[in-house]
Amino acid sequence: MSEPAGTAAAIVAAAQRIRQHGDSAPQLARDPVNTPMINNWTEALGDADPRYPELAPPAMVQVWTMRGLHGRRPADDPLGAMTAVLDEAGYTSVVATDCDQSYARYLRPGERLSVRSRLTDVVGPKRTALGEGWFVTTVSTWSVGSGDAAEPVAEMMFRILKFRPPAPPEPPKPPAAPRAVLRPVVNRDTEFFWAGMAAGELRVWRCGECGLLRHPPGPMCPRCNATRPEYLIASGRGEVYSYVVHHHPPVPGRELPFVVALVALEEGVRVLGELRDTDPAGARVGLPVEIVFDRVDDQLTLPAWRPR
């Protein structure tokens, strides 16, 4: 039975599988233990032990089986297999945490090593300072000779932490593109109407002298010529007095076709606006509607209508 990829259970199952393979096939060193390499090493480390280079420093053991610049990890390498599983599960970062080597004896130039490794432990998920991760432990054994004659000469326990790198900070969101609509011209005579829209009120111009209602607003009362306008707050209910279905041309911010309705308010004046929430076939004269405050942005709220 297989577990969903990437879950802790799937990782544990994969680790179990890889561990059961036991030791990888022996990987034979490219070159035998050799004097030039020993000299390079001891000079670089300032190790003047007189036994070198007739013998090789034991801590060099890993050097002899390095794969080189273009070397490839063998397919049965347990650390490679476990790394792939954890990479896949998002634990893509790595840090070495422990390395213990033990040596059976000194090596001599001319001896050719081979190395095998096995997975011993996969522990996790653990919360660490670096992030959530899994500790992966392998043991490598170096031998001289092959088959039954193979003589183990050194062993290394090597532990890494494969962890999930912290998520990069969210990039700042670009400001939302302003909605493209045809914007009304707001002037001294109409400012109260648009302020009302923004406040969620349908304000209707009313003459301060004779009480006449008019829409759209203007500076002067057409009946008594007074220039002292007030407004009333309309109920926002009315019915469709007339309408058009707009098929063409395209209008910024609108999907075609759309309906523009002239709505006769209960209060008596007529107000234009898009008729929403109904397809064009649903529009008809006399349709009872109510206002919708279509907030475009901080500066603009448009009147629109929907059936009620």
Residues that bind Zn ion (CB under 5 A): 207, 209-210, 212, 221, 223-224, 226
Task: State which residue, 13 or 224, has the beta carbon closest to Zn ion.
Answer: 224
As measured in angstroms, the least distance from the Cβ of 241 to Zn ion is 23
Tokens of 208: 């301060």
CB nearer Zn ion, residue 134 or residue 231: 231
The DSSP secondary structure of 44-72, one letter per residue, reads: HHT---TTTTTSB-GGGHHHHT---TT--
- Which residues does 205 contact at the CB level (< 8 Å), separation at least 6? 192, 193, 213, 214, 215, 216, 217, 218, 229, 231
Q: Which is nearer to Zn ion, 212 or 296 (CB)?
A: 212
Contact (CB, 8 A) for 270 and 234: no
What are the helix (H) ranges across the chain? 8-20, 35-45, 61-64, 78-88, 191-199
| Closer to Zn ion by Cβ: residue 95 or 226 | 226
CB of 263 to Zn ion, least distance (A): 23
Is residue 6 packed enough to be buried (19+ CB in 10 Å), middle (13-18) or exposed (0-12)? middle
Q: Cα(208)–Cα(92) distance, rounded to whole angstroms?
A: 74
Distance, CA of 8 to CA of 13 (rounded, Å)? 9
- Please state the closest distance from residue 189 (CB atom) to Zn ion, in A: 15
Q: How far is the CB of 196 from Zn ion (least distance, A)?
A: 20
Which residue in the block uniquely carries the two structure tokens 């529009």? 283
Nearer to Zn ion, 146 or 225 (CB): 225
Structure tokens at 151: 């003589």
Q: How far is the CB of 213 from Zn ion (least distance, A)?
A: 10
| Min CB(303)–Zn ion separation in Å | 24
Which residue number, 150 or 212, has a Cβ lying nearer to Zn ion? 212
